Amino acid sequence: PDATRVALLSQTRLVELRLVRPGDHSLVGAIYRGRVTAVRREQSAAFVDIGQAKAGFLSLRRAAKPPAEGSALLVQVTKDAVDEKGAGLTDRPSIVGRYLTLRVGSPGLDRSRRLDPEALEHAATVLGAMDLAQDGFLLHPAAAEASDDELLAEAKSLVDSWAGLRDQGRTAPSVVKPAPDPVLRAIQDHARTLQSVLVDSADMLATLKAALEQTVPALAAK
């Protein structure tokens, strides 16, 4: 009752254990429509109200463009708040899929280090009709197992998802996309190698199946 435990087993050997306690839920990955409360050129930082106790921190050195004080801004949490410091933010969000990650504001195509260069060349051909001048993609290792149709379909789905998020609501601060569920994140991290998933909660089982049907359908059956 005091924690959710996620254990990764290789046959009977424990490989990894994650404990998720109430209140421990990370905000990393969540997307907010925030309000810029201050721009500090001398600190190369902007502070953004995302509805949390502390304003988030956006590095101007890494920002797509310098924000104006008082303006609304779409940001993604890259680091949880610590002590007196607010959450780390980026104005170049990433939308993660099974085979690809859409990288908003980062043009071009790149690959995971675990993926062969040939896979990148092939993906460039498959996605050749898409405009990558503004937003680009990162290929996951699982992309090597995807068909051309699956790769193209996911790329288009991620672009559509971002378009929907970008246009969602105008209130600032507000949550545009919540952070991934930590249990779901643990399963997705090992999507390529999982043989089966055992769940001891009917509610959690239903939640995971519904989410995986949308992101990694092959895992939903496991």
pTM for this structure?
A: 0.80
User: Please, is 212 exposed, middle or buried when counting C-beta atoms within 10 Å of its C-beta (0-12, 13-18, 19+)?
Assistant: buried
Mean per-residue pLDDT over the chain, rounded:
88
Per-residue confidence at 91, pLDDT binned at 50, 70, 90?
A: very high
Position 63 pLDDT exceeds 90: yes
pLDDT of residue 137: 93
Position 180 pLDDT exceeds 90: no
Q: Identify whether the C-beta of residue 90 lies closer than 8 Å to the C-beta of residue 78.
A: yes
How many CA atoms lie within 13 Å of 144's alpha carbon, on the beta-carbon side?
11
**pLDDT tens, position by position, 7-39:** 999 988 999 998 888 777 789 999 999 999 999
Position 215 pLDDT exceeds 80: no
For residues 109-118, one letter each, b for 16 or more C-beta atoms within 10 angstroms of the residue's C-beta and e for the rest, the string is bebeeebeee
pLDDT of residue 49: 97
pLDDT of residue 185: 79
**pLDDT tens, position by position, 190-208:** 777 889 999 998 998 998 8
